[in-house]
Amino acid sequence: GQSLEQPSEVTAVEGAIVQINCTYQTSGFYGLSWYQQHDGGAPTFLSYNALDGLEETGRFSSFLSRSDSYGYLLLQELQMKDSASYFCARRRLTGGGNKLTFGTGTQLKVEL
């Protein structure tokens, strides 16, 4: 299988920390990417994990546990501009080359 599971919505307050989880099917797994998409905009790349552990990029961090088929995106010091949809995407190695399969996305609402 190729599916990924994410919560559909998460709400948090400005200044808080929020974690967006993603579980995935393990067949052909090669790595997990995270993308951000504001309403009406294009997806933009945030982070990638090929190995277990934490990757930190400013206020955003991403974690992967391959043994648990699980990853998460951690957003710290939330700002109103972080209100957006966040997608995890599984990198697969297939006969036709590397591809990404996207989850259905988590809509993050940041409130005052």
Partner 1 sequence: NAGVTQTPKFRVLKTGQSMTLLCAQDMNHEYMYWYRQDPGMGLRLIHYSVGEGTTAKGEVPDGYNVSRLKKQNFLLGLESAAPSQTSVYFCASSNSASVYEQYFGPGTRLTVT
Beta strand 9-13 pairing with 29-37: unpaired
- Interface residue with partner 1 among 11, 19, 57, 104 (CB under 8 A) is 104
Position among 13, 17, 45, 57 found at the interface with partner 1 (CB under 8 A)? 45
58-67: long-range contacts, CB 8 A cutoff, minimum separation 24: 60/34, 62/32, 62/34, 64/31, 64/32, 66/26, 66/29
Q: How far apart are CA 94 and CA 16, in angstroms?
A: 39
**Residue 24 engages partner 1 in binding (rule: CB under 8 A):** no
Degrees to nearest 5, angle at CA 108 with 105 and 17: 120
Q: Which is nearer to partner 1, 97 or 112 (CB)?
A: 97
Rule CB under 8 A: say whether 19 interacts with partner 1: no
Among 13, 98, 109, 111, binds partner 1 (CB under 8 A): 98
**Residue reference for tokens 């501009």:** 81
Report 72-91 residues binding partner 1 (CB under 8 A): 87, 89, 91
Note whether 71 binds partner 1 by CB under 8 A: no
Residue numbers at the binding site for partner 1 (CB under 8 A): 8, 31, 33, 41-45, 48, 50, 87, 89, 91, 96-105
